[in-house]
Chain A
Amino acid sequence: MDNLQKELDNKINNIEKSPSGVSIIWREIMRDKLALISLVFLLLVTTLVYGVSIFLDLDEIVKIDLFAIHEPPSSDFWLGTDYGGRDVFGQLIIGTRNSLTIGFLVTLMTGLIGVTFGLTAGFFGGHIDNIMMRVLDFFIILPFLMIVIVFVSIVPNYSIISFSLIMTAFLWMGIARLIRSKALQERELDYAQASKTLGTPRWKIMFGQVLPNVSSLIIVTMTLNLAANIGLESGLSFLGFGFPEETPSLGTLLSYARNPQTLENRWWIWMPAAILIFLLMLSVRNVGEALKRATDARQRRG
């Protein structure tokens, strides 16, 4: 018995694992030059801003220096200074870091809520689904930007946490709707039915059996959402309803361009941030589109 066990263990341990979804995705990204470049760019920017910002003195950057207002780029200030004499380059680094952080945070939270909501509605179906979808319909119809701005301006003790919570509260519906319609299909498949006959509790079927089968959809959607969320955050900060004053984001730099003087004559303040936002969103999308192709066998390139 023990020998048999050992022999079995040896056999079992020597088996190679089958190629997983991860390696397929990896192959697809490697094949797609644009996605590869985008990924490298993203990794580079991310490590750079998180790495460099450790050494940057935030207080130094946001300190107002009235003798250095609106200086054009120079060797002291690589990208010039803003109306408070603050170094634009430093703000760009910190801003990118803050924008990325909030992008990741909001994407993760909306993903968590959206997936749970969509999975529950789709998996249970019937009346539960009906009621949940009415709730979702209502959230979708709300004028998102206005509601968020109102909440941002009336919430007491406004902080980054409350900002991301407000954004999350009105952004989880897209992914929820996608996951729900996929879950509706999955629950009818025999493997989910089989789990029921095997005595697996429903919540376990939902998270243990159905969830892995919608995981690729989740990854793709969340990647594309990340791009959108970076854009939304910078838009809100641009209008002055994003990050609190003392923490600059990429949108904060752009908001200086609301002053026509700055927009017309001092491009160095807002242009780099605009280009950076564009490049970040473009590369995240490129990676997302490659993931989408990787998870859809019909669209795979090789």
Chain B
Amino acid sequence: MGFLDVEDLKVHFPIRGGLLNRKIDAVRAVDGVSFSIEQGKTYGLVGESGSGKTTTGRAVIGLNNITAGKVFFEGNDLTDKKNKMLDVRKDIQMIFQDPYSSLNPKKRVIDIVAEPLRNYERLTKKEERYKVAELLEKVGLSPESILKYPHEFSGGQRQRIGIARAIALKPKLIIADEPVSALDVSVQAQVLNFMKDIQKELNLTYLFISHDLGIVKHMCDEIGIMYKGRYVEEGKTGDIFTNPQHIYTKRLVAAIPDIDPKNREKQKQFREEVQREYEESYESYFNEEGLAYGLKKISDTHAVALPEKG
């Protein structure tokens, strides 16, 4: 058993209709996803919007109901209803995409950051204040801001408050759902580097969800690429970026901008080549419904969704 193992996870949302509003169909947001993460590593989930990456993350932490499949965290089955989630929840936390809506606008910073502490730890008022101030200092905010409201902070500062809240209980796994995509580009790098720093300091494991391959390359040890609720490719960061196998991955990698002007021509040529290949061979990479095939291992660390015939 690994640290986090997701086995054949499915999350379907019912479509209701008809006379009695019964379930008539389902949106297969996540349709059979498996992966595992080692402790202390960062695992990236990549895909376009609607690919099911966020739903996967939210299912792991319990915000979306799991239709089928298993999620094991340190050997405990999180999908088992009898398993009282409460203690495990403490060890899994989440950083949300939009720092403007993830902090309750009517609460002061102290109430926001102390919320998890109040649920799991019995602290006196004084201890709590001290702890919150300490956490704020850790994320690079002045402890004096504990009585302010979220709207008095910038986007980057708000996301730091969100991070302070997420690490308050000393979790082992943090699910980061596009943690910087709502921030200005200039602030993104700051927050990302800071996330790396606290990862080392607290021995955190990240499930890092993003649509930005550049960021994922910078942050992650392993990457899974999702398309329409399924995996198309999975591997070490090196595998994905230097040796992409699936046409979808190739196209994503080709789309990463290269700032070196000397490579401009080469890059353009490469991109056109990939585009041509994509158009020509799209059908051989996806089944009749436009979905990916099952994953095949092509090396110890690298797996690609290819059709049976090869």
**Interface magnitude class on chain A:** 20 to 34
Whether a CB of chain A sits under 8 angstroms from the CB of B61 is yes
Number of B interface residues at 8 Å Cβ cutoff, please give it.
36
Are A8 and B103 interface neighbours, CB within 8 A? no
Within 8 A of A (CB), among B38-97: 61-63, 86, 89-90, 92-94, 96-97
Are B116 and A198 interface neighbours, CB within 8 A? yes
Are A8 and B133 interface neighbours, CB within 8 A? yes
Contacts of A162 in B (CB 8 A): none
Asked, given contacts A11-B143, A12-B147, A212-B106, whether A190 binds B97 with beta carbons under 8 Å apart, the answer is yes
Whether a CB of chain B sits under 8 angstroms from the CB of A15 is yes
Selected contact of B102 from candidates A5, A9, A190, A213, CB within 8 Å = A190
Asked, given contacts A197-B94, A199-B116, A199-B120, whether A18 binds B143 with beta carbons under 8 Å apart, the answer is no
Asked, given contacts A191-B104, A212-B104, whether A196 binds B62 with beta carbons under 8 Å apart, the answer is yes
Closest A residue by C-beta to B97:
A190
In whole angstroms, how far apart are the Cα atoms of A201 and B97 in the complex?
Answer: 23
Q: What distance in Å separates the Cβ of B151 from its nearest Cβ neighbour in chain A? A: 8
Are B130 and A194 interface neighbours, CB within 8 A? no
Within 8 A of B (CB), among A171-221: 189-191, 193-201, 209, 212-213, 215
Are B102 and A191 interface neighbours, CB within 8 A? yes
Are B107 and A212 interface neighbours, CB within 8 A? yes
In whole angstroms, how far apart are the Cα atoms of A198 and B164 in the complex?
Answer: 12
Whether a CB of chain B sits under 8 angstroms from the CB of A17 is yes
Q: What distance in Å separates the Cβ of A127 from its nearest Cβ neighbour in chain B? A: 11
In whole angstroms, how far apart are the Cα atoms of A9 and B126 in the complex?
Answer: 9
Are B104 and A213 interface neighbours, CB within 8 A? yes
Q: What distance in Å separates the Cβ of B101 from its nearest Cβ neighbour in chain A? A: 4
Contacts of B149 in A (CB 8 A): 18
Whether a CB of chain A sits under 8 angstroms from the CB of B8 is no
Are B106 and A198 interface neighbours, CB within 8 A? no
Q: What distance in Å separates the Cβ of A25 from its nearest Cβ neighbour in chain B? A: 14
Q: What distance in Å separates the Cβ of B141 from its nearest Cβ neighbour in chain A? A: 13
Whether a CB of chain A sits under 8 angstroms from the CB of B148 is yes
Are B148 and A18 interface neighbours, CB within 8 A? yes
Are B143 and A12 interface neighbours, CB within 8 A? yes
Q: What distance in Å separates the Cβ of A65 from its nearest Cβ neighbour in chain B? A: 57
Are A197 and B126 interface neighbours, CB within 8 A? no
In whole angstroms, how far apart are the Cα atoms of A196 and B152 in the complex?
Answer: 24
Are A193 and B107 interface neighbours, CB within 8 A? no
Asked, given contacts A8-B143, A15-B147, A190-B102, whether A200 binds B119 with beta carbons under 8 Å apart, the answer is yes
Selected contact of A194 from candidates B94, B126, B129, CB within 8 Å = B94
Q: What distance in Å separates the Cβ of A6 from its nearest Cβ neighbour in chain B? A: 11
Whether a CB of chain A sits under 8 angstroms from the CB of B212 is no
In whole angstroms, how far apart are the Cα atoms of A18 and B61 in the complex?
Answer: 34
Are B96 and A12 interface neighbours, CB within 8 A? no
Are A213 and B106 interface neighbours, CB within 8 A? yes
Selected contact of A200 from candidates B115, B144, B147, CB within 8 Å = B115
Are B62 and A197 interface neighbours, CB within 8 A? yes
Q: What distance in Å separates the Cβ of B158 from its nearest Cβ neighbour in chain A? A: 11
Asked, given contacts A194-B165, A213-B105, whether A12 binds B89 with beta carbons under 8 Å apart, the answer is no
Q: What distance in Å separates the Cβ of A179 from its nearest Cβ neighbour in chain B? A: 15
Contacts of A191 in B (CB 8 A): 101-105
Q: What distance in Å separates the Cβ of B11 from its nearest Cβ neighbour in chain A? A: 15
Contacts of B162 in A (CB 8 A): 194
Contacts of A18 in B (CB 8 A): 147-149, 152
Contacts of A197 in B (CB 8 A): 61-63, 89, 92-94
Counting chain A CB atoms within 10 Å of each CB, which of B102, B106, B147 scores highest?
A: B106
Are A189 and B101 interface neighbours, CB within 8 A? yes
In whole angstroms, how far apart are the Cα atoms of A201 and B115 in the complex?
Answer: 11
Contacts of A195 in B (CB 8 A): 104, 115
Within 8 A of B (CB), among A1-35: 5, 8-9, 11-12, 15, 17-18
| 16 contacts across the A-B interface (CB closer than 8 A) | A9-B129, A12-B144, A12-B147, A15-B146, A15-B147, A17-B147, A189-B101, A190-B97, A191-B101, A194-B94, A197-B61, A197-B63, A197-B93, A198-B93, A199-B89, A213-B106
Given contacts A9-B126, A9-B129, 9 further A-B contacts (CB under 8 A): A8-B129, A8-B133, A11-B143, A12-B129, A15-B144, A195-B104, A199-B89, A199-B119, A200-B115
